[in-house]
Amino acid sequence: MVDKVIQTNFVTIVGKIVTELEFSHQMYGEGFYTFYIKVPRLSENSDVLPVTISERLFVGMELKPGVELVIEGQLRSYNRYSDGSNRLLLTVFARDVYIPDDEEELLELRRKPNEIFLDGYICKQPVYRTTPFGREITDLLVAVNRPYNKSDYIPCIAWGRNARFSEKLRVGDHIRLWGRIQSREYQKKLPDGEVLNKVAYEVSISKMEYLKDDNNREGKLKAESV
């Protein structure tokens, strides 16, 4: 199992594979593959999420559509240059994967099939808005550090009371959050009138914590006031 104690970015998802594995890339002689997994929500809906996995993690396992498995890892981001601009893409990067052989364990895991914890910093000014039905939402972009001077930039959505609270956050604020990864379909209209159906991935926040004594904004303000 992945050590959860030292993680600033930890994901656990439980679901069924819905696509064949596809070769993605090779790094230092190690092959990586991608597939999509269907993760049920507490409602009747589901999220279909992209997964990236090293070939060494599934030696002796048959990962194919219909197989139900548990994935532990991180939610990672990377940029892809397309149509003259950079696009932020997200994937669940698997650190451990297994197929439960105990029915009681599987039933327990299914109760919380989609969990994520992030410890990072606000890197873009939050945007507060309301839906046509009056629901309050704040869009956040959170930078989460990982080894070798790299960072992942994770789009997040806060609702209701959390939306009102996070609206007041500023760039550099240190936060911790808990929630789930969700997929969301939307339409993009091109200049020629063509409409494209697209899917966005983001973290839906259920709980958040502001670290007042450890954030870049407070340190900057103190430095400026000296």
Biggest CA-to-CA distance, the chain: 62
For residue 198, the domain's CATH number is 2.40.50.140
Residue 4 included in any domain = no
Residue 2 included in any domain = no
For 14-31, the pLDDT digits (tens) are 999 999 999 999 999 999
Domain count within the chain: 1
β 174-189/22-27 pair status = unpaired
Query: What tokens appear for 175 in the block?
Result: 């936060």
Residue 1 included in any domain = no
**Residue-number span of the structural domain to which 22 is assigned:** 9-225
| C-alpha atoms less than 13 angstroms from C-alpha of 37 in its C-beta half-sphere | 29
DSSP-derived 3-state class of residue 195: strand
Residue 127 included in any domain = yes
Query: What tokens appear for 161 in the block?
Result: 């009371």
Residue 21 included in any domain = yes
Residue 144 included in any domain = yes
Sign of CA dihedral 76, 174, 39, 62: positive
Residue 3 included in any domain = no
Query: What tokens appear for 25 in the block?
Result: 């890339």
Q: How far apart are CA 113 and CA 1, in angstroms?
A: 16
Q: How far apart are CA 151 and CA 162, in angstroms?
A: 24
Q: Residue 110: name the closest of 69, 139, 78 by CA.
A: 69
Question: Could you give the residue ranges of the DSSP H alpha helices within 63-192?
Answer: 103-111, 160-166
Q: What is the reported pLDDT for 10?
A: 96
Residues lower than pLDDT 70 in the chain: 1-6, 82-84, 215-226
The answer to whether the CB of 176 falls within 8 A of the CB of 124 is no
